[in-house]
């Protein structure tokens, strides 16, 4: 099906760092439908050719494996167009509507044929979402073939998220509004569904009787860099926990959906969010740790502390690290701790889910008891993409065998010889095709804010602020104490 993809914020960082490389990869893989046009809109004046040259120059700044050759880029660039727009002016939306309605000659389409699908990707600051959606609705750019993609962060709290959703709903039907979370497009996250619901092996064990705890870690080794002004208004809780980490938690904890239908899956995810133990001021003090990195040494080099970063206020109390303990209060998961952790300037760039199984009820081998010796399943999201199953095995022969840990390691990149599809590439293709499974529904998103908001409120009333931690560490010592209280340890401490 032919398509028009309009990128609002067409000269912004998100567009040239993430979206354009993903679109090029989709083009290179032969995945983009025939007859497609990609239109970037922004405030400044430039021609199509000037925009194509701008994106080509920006491609030199992305990772080398995603840079196109001159010949490949020339072919891809024929799809790229540019249009100046002032997002507050109705006449500019009327002009956009005319551009969509009069395509002229487009490779892969009959002369003058309109696109079968129109995707409007809002790669702008979220405070612009309401005005854009209002203007799109007023201009009639909300017909059934139109879909609007909303990039995170979607709001700053529950009230702002609800306001955005109300404006979006006034112009678009729910099935037309695609709230994107690029983590859900990662191949390893897709394998969460396959792991749980495409195999009979784990389902009998996926419950409180067999699982001791589940840990979700989304760690970054870099600091905030040049994004200090944005990050200081956001923080780790809003940036990573409210969306990415909670979405991973729902996929791990959800009940089997009745089908692979988008709403069947999202219904089950919503049930998990509603089952999370709500926070009180007392439980925030007990079960949530926030931290802020200080100056120090990382990888043999001196690095700034958060308060010394560009565009960060010197008295900022913004958290760059969060660790928390929660529970899913239902029959399957009652009493099983879920630990979520994220942060900047940590020891490694590492995103993984660790499912720690309970030890055997009656150990008969010497040294085989204890949580640190139990089985665990590690779902690796980045930088590697795969699964590790940790077991115990006898090392030699004879009586009184000592057990030693062994692991079965599945590297998805090696297992699947073809090149894997990246997160944004997958989600952009899904948006064009109208596949909604990996996009977040408004009630999911609002429920996640509802659960997070008591933490934000408790922090606002707490004069102590975040705990300091050294760069290259795994956060404040209190994060280790949080899990040690349950007789557990984070994966790197086991």
CB count within 10 Å of CB 134 equals 16
Output the CA angle 116-120-126, nearest 5 degrees: 165
Q: What is the pTM of this model?
A: 0.92
Q: Answer whether residue 398 shows pLDDT above 70.
A: no
Examine the pLDDT at 371 and tell me if it is beyond 50: no
The answer to whether 275 and 329 have CB atoms below 8 angstroms apart is: yes
* Distance of alpha carbon 289 from the chain centroid: 21
pLDDT at position 314 is 93
Cβ neighbourhood burial of 25 (10 Å; 0-12, 13-18, 19+):
buried
Q: At 250, which helix (H) or strand (E)? A: helix 246-253
CA distance 404 to 182: 38
Lowest mean pLDDT among 20-24, 101-105, 434-438: 101-105
Structure tokens that stand for 205 in this block: 């064990």
> Which whole-number Å values give the CA distances from 188 to 105, 214, 238, 348, 352, in the listed order?
40, 17, 23, 19, 10
Dihedrals phi, psi of 416, to nearest 5 degrees: -110, 110
Angle separating helix axes 129-138 and 158-171, nearest 10 degrees: 10
Domains, the chain, in order of start with CATH, read 3-151 (3.40.50.720), 184-421+441-493 (3.30.360.10)
> For 98-153, how does the pLDDT look when each residue is reduced to its tens digit (9 = 90+)?
999 988 878 878 888 888 999 999 999 888 999 999 999 999 999 999 999 998 77
Residues 156, 144: Cα–Cα separation, whole Å: 30
**30 exposed, middle or buried (CB, 10 Å; 0-12, 13-18, 19+)?**
exposed
Neighbour order of strands in the sheet with 350-357: 403-411, 386-394, 376-382, 350-357, 211-219, 337-343, 321-327, 288-293, 467-469
Mean pLDDT of the chain: 91
Q: Is 5 buried (19+), middle (13-18) or exposed (0-12) by CB count in 10 A? A: buried
Residue 286 confidence class, pLDDT cut points 50, 70, 90: very high
- How far apart CA 127 and CA 235 sit, in angstroms, is 17
Instruction: Please calculate the CA angle 129-148-146 and round it to the nearest 5 degrees.
Output: 140
Report d(CA 342, CA 474) in Å as an integer. 9
pLDDT band at 400 (very low <50, low <70, confident <90, very high): low
Q: What are phi and psi of 373, to 5 degrees?
A: -110, 5
**pLDDT at 63 > cutoff 90:** no
pLDDT in tens, 377-386: 999 988 888 8
Report residue 412's pLDDT band, with 50, 70 and 90 as the boundaries.
Answer: confident
User: What confidence category does residue 399 fall into, taking pLDDT thresholds of 50, 70 and 90?
Assistant: low
Give percent of the chain above pLDDT 70. Answer: 96
Residue 127: its pLDDT value, please? 86
β-pairing verdict for 80-84 and 36-42 = parallel
If we measure between CA atoms, which residue out of 438, 43, 40 comes closest to residue 260?
438
| pLDDT tens digits along 222-254 | 999 888 888 999 999 999 999 999 999 999 999
Beta-carbon count within 10 A of 54 CB: 17
Active site residues: 244
């Amino acid at each position: 099906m032919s398509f028009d993809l309009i990128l609002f914020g067409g000269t912004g960082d998100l567009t040239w760092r993430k979206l354009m490389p993903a679109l090029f990869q989709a083009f290179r893989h032969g995945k983009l439908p025939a007859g497609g046009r990609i239109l970037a809109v922004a405030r400044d004046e430039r021609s199509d050719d000037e925009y194509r040259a701008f994106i080509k120059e920006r491609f030199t700044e992305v990772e080398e494996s995603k840079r196109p050759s001159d010949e490949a880029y020339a072919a891809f660039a024929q799809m790229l167009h540019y249009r100046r727009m002032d997002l507050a002016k109705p006449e500019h939306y009327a002009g956009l509507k005319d551009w969509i309605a009069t395509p002229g000659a487009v490779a892969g389409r009959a002369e003058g044929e309109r696109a079968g699908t129109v995707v409007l990707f809002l790669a702008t600051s979220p405070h612009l979402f309401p005005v854009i959606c209002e203007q799109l609705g007023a201009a009639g750019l909300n017909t059934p073939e139109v879909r609007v993609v909303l990039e995170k962060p979607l709001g700053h709290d529950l009230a702002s998220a609800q306001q955005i959703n109300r404006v979006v709903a006034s112009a678009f039907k729910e099935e037309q509004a695609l709230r994107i979370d690029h983590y859900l497009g990662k191949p390893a996250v897709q394998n969460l569904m396959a792991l749980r619901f495409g195999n009979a092996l784990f389902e009998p064990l996926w419950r409180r009787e067999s699982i001791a705890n589940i840990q979700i870690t989304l760690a970054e080794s870099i600091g905030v860099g040049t994004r200090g002004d944005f990050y200081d208004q956001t923080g780790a809780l809003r940036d990573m926990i409210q969306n990415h980490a909670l979405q991973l938690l729902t996929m791990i904890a959800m009940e089997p959906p009745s089908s692979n239908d988008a709403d069947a899956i999202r219904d089950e995810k919503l049930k998990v969010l509603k089952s999370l133990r709500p926070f009180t001021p007392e439980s925030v003090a007990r079960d949530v740790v926030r931290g802020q990195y200080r100056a120090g040494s990382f990888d043999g080099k001196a690095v700034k502390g958060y308060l010394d970063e560009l565009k960060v206020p010197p008295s900022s109390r913004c958290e760059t690290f969060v660790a928390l303990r929660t529970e899913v209060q239902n029959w399957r998961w009652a009493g099983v701790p879920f630990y979520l952790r994220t942060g900047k300037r940590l020891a490694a760039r590492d995103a993984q889910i660790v499912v720690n199984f309970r030890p055997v009820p009656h150990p008969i081998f010497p040294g085989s008891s204890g949580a640190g010796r139990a089985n665990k399943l590690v779902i690796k999201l980045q930088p590697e993409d795969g699964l590790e199953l940790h077991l115990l095995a006898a090392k030699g022969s004879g009586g009184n065998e000592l057990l030693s840990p062994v692991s079965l390691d599945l590297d998805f990149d090696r297992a699947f010889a073809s090149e894997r599809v990246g997160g944004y590439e997958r989600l952009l293709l899904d948006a064009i095709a109208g596949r909604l499974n990996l996009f977040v529904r408004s009630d999911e998103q609002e429920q996640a804010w509802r659960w997070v908001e008591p933490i934000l409120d408790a922090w606002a009333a707490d004069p102590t602020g975040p705990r300091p931690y050294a760069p290259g560490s795994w956060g404040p010592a209190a994060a280790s104490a949080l899990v040690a209280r349950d007789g557990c340890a984070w994966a790197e401490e086991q």
